[in-house]
Structure 1
Amino acid sequence: MRVRRVLSTTLLLLGIAAAPAAADSSPSASPSGDSAAPTQAGTSFRTATEIEQGQQATASGSTGDYLYWSFPADAGQRPTVKATVKLPEASTRHAGQTWQLDVYDGLRRRQACQYGAQTRTAAQDAASVELACTMRTVRSWSETWANDPLPGTYYVRLTVTGLQASDLGLPVGAEVKVDSKDIGGSAAVDGSLAKPLVPGIATSAGKSDSGSGSSTAALSSIEPDDGWASGWWSDRWVWTAIGGILAALAGIGGYALTRGSGRPSRVPPGA
């Protein structure tokens, strides 16, 4: 009976503890519909159009232009960038076109993609070409020599890398969308950044601390819905607590099984 009670308590505690972990592992929510999706793109890192995760941004341009967008990514997220290029009329093109999608972090370091077609060549009669890049999981901290993705602003650059010179300047349309999957405790590391890698934020903080009374605004004003460093909580804490609970219950159960009924095996004479 005692062992059954211990097992029932274990199952109840596991159910309570696993609930936050299940909620934490859900994909990031889409932004509210209050903010309209951007309809243009920047032409450089400094003029990149800011988009929120979950928004589908659109832009019009010319073949040969560099199109830039920026978005925020926090620790524990694994962003996936998808882009669709609507090509000019086939009758106006003279050959196929090769398009490329690149992602850079706040330090303008090019980020590797775990999977996805970053570069694709469209046939001359193709109406569109689709590109994708699933990044590595954003870490809360990393060594200075590493190229790991860190919390902050990320840039998307879309451009054509191969075409005939006679096709330069033809009108094109582009659609870009960024979604993230919350990886959780499996990607958690010890340590965190003092500031996210947002261009201009370090300069702003340095001038404010010096007491000069002047500050420079960050070049990127967009951030996650629940603020930076929102990934401090992960299901690693939950499973660590579960492990401790299981160890304690195992000790209690083992003691209950080995101690017997609690009565002495022999009764002294005359007792």
Structure 2
Amino acid sequence: MRTVRTLAAAAVLAGTVLVGAGAGTALADSPSSDAPSPGPTASNSDAAPTEAGTAFRTAVAVRQGQKATASASSGDYLYWMFPADAGQRPTVTAKVTLPEAASRHGASTWRIDVYDGLRRRQPCMYGTQSGSAAEDAATVDLSCTLRPTVAWADTWSTDPLPGSYYIRLTAVSLPETDRGLPFKAEVEPTVLDTGGAHAVDGRLSTPLGAKSAVEPDGGWASGWWTDRWVWTAAGGLLAALAGIAGYNLTRGRGRPSRAPRGV
């Protein structure tokens, strides 16, 4: 009975650890009411940006899940920046509203590229990174999903690291006579938390380009917490339970039986 009570208490403790850790993760993933102030290139309010930069240095900061808009001329390069932390998989979607069909003279091709804080172009895992529009088309939809961001990588690696990410949108092909025609753009960066599946040992001392961008909701984690901690703790606890159970069973079998009283 003592063994059963010990195992039951340990099982309850294990459940409490798992539930508490899950609740902590849910709270960490929830938007914080104390949102960090925007970086130097961001707006002074939480309103979505209505303009874009024309180079990396003038990229306009956008929050995760925020839709930015801009008006520009065909042939211009538009730049935005957003944060991505360790364990997050970024996806960028873009919509280009083309000039009036009557003013255009042929098809055009539009493209989005995403660069990390070191200005290395990151390949898309999937998505329509480049799209062509017929002369009478009204819009073009683009998307790019990057690889999951890792907390640390070797210097020779091109793995995406925590920090600022840059979005560049432009027309890569259009009739020369259509250059300068007005168009509108919408971009939205979102992230998906991948958990401990892509966790690595080590972390950066400072996220790449973090000083010039807004922070993720809840601030920079940079690999400090992953759900691997939960499963590691649970595995250690279960191993301890197995050891206690084995010890008690062995002790019970090896104990000599007592002779009946009065013999």
The verdict on how the C-alpha distance between 1:268 and 1:3 changes in structure 2, with shifts beyond 3 A counting, is: closer
The residue matched to 1:113 in structure 2 has which SS?
A: coil
The verdict on how the C-alpha distance between 1:8 and 1:129 changes in structure 2, with shifts beyond 3 A counting, is: farther
The verdict on how the C-alpha distance between 1:27 and 1:265 changes in structure 2, with shifts beyond 3 A counting, is: closer
- Which contiguous aligned blocks of 4+ residues in structure 1 show a shift greater than 6 angstroms? 268-271
**Correspondence 1:16 to 2:21:** no
The residue matched to 2:58 in structure 1 has which SS?
A: coil
Shift in Å at residue 47 of structure 1? 0.6
Deviation string 1:211-242 (CA, Å, 9 cap, x unpaired) is: xxxxxxx5x14222433335401111111000
TM-score, normalised via structure 2 length: 0.85
Structure 2 match to 1:249: 241
Q: Which runs of 5+ in 2 are unaligned?
A: 36-44
Question: How far apart, CA to CA, are the structure 2 residues paired with 1:83 and 1:173?
Answer: 11
The verdict on how the C-alpha distance between 1:260 and 1:27 changes in structure 2, with shifts beyond 3 A counting, is: closer
Are the aligned partners of 2:203 and 2:223 in contact in 1 as well (CA < 8 Å)? no
Q: CA RMSD in A?
A: 2.7
Structure 2 match to 1:197: 208
**Correspondence 1:80 to 2:81:** no
Question: How far apart, CA to CA, are the structure 1 residues paired with 2:247 and 2:54?
Answer: 70
TM-score, normalised via structure 1 length: 0.83
Are the aligned partners of 2:91 and 2:144 in contact in 1 as well (CA < 8 Å)? yes
For 1:132, give the aligned amino acid: S
For 1:255, give the aligned amino acid: Y
**Correspondence 1:264 to 2:256:** yes
Mapping of residues 232-247 of structure 1, within 5 Å: 232-247=224-239
For 2:25, give the aligned amino acid: D
Q: How many residues were matched structurally?
A: 252
Are the aligned partners of 2:51 and 2:68 in contact in 1 as well (CA < 8 Å)? yes
Mapping of residues 151-166 of structure 1, within 5 Å: 151-166=162-177
Structure 1 match to 2:220: 228
Structure 2 match to 1:115: 126
Shift in Å at residue 14 of structure 1? 3.5
Question: How far apart, CA to CA, are the structure 2 residues paired with 1:270 and 1:149?
Answer: 80
The verdict on how the C-alpha distance between 1:247 and 1:116 changes in structure 2, with shifts beyond 3 A counting, is: same
For 2:111, give the aligned amino acid: Q
Mapping of residues 116-131 of structure 1, within 5 Å: 116-131=127-142
Are the aligned partners of 1:25 and 1:183 in contact in 2 as well (CA < 8 Å)? no
Are the aligned partners of 2:151 and 2:222 in contact in 1 as well (CA < 8 Å)? no
**Correspondence 1:60 to 2:71:** yes
**Correspondence 1:102 to 2:113:** yes
Shift in Å at residue 101 of structure 1? 0.8
Shift in Å at residue 130 of structure 1? 1.1
For 1:127, give the aligned amino acid: A
Give 2:61's match in structure 1, choosing from 25, 39, 50.
Answer: 50
Deviation string 1:134-186 (CA, Å, 9 cap, x unpaired) is: 11111111100001111111100011112211221111111111111111222
Structure 1 match to 2:39: none
The verdict on how the C-alpha distance between 1:66 and 1:5 changes in structure 2, with shifts beyond 3 A counting, is: same
The residue matched to 1:232 in structure 2 has which SS?
A: coil
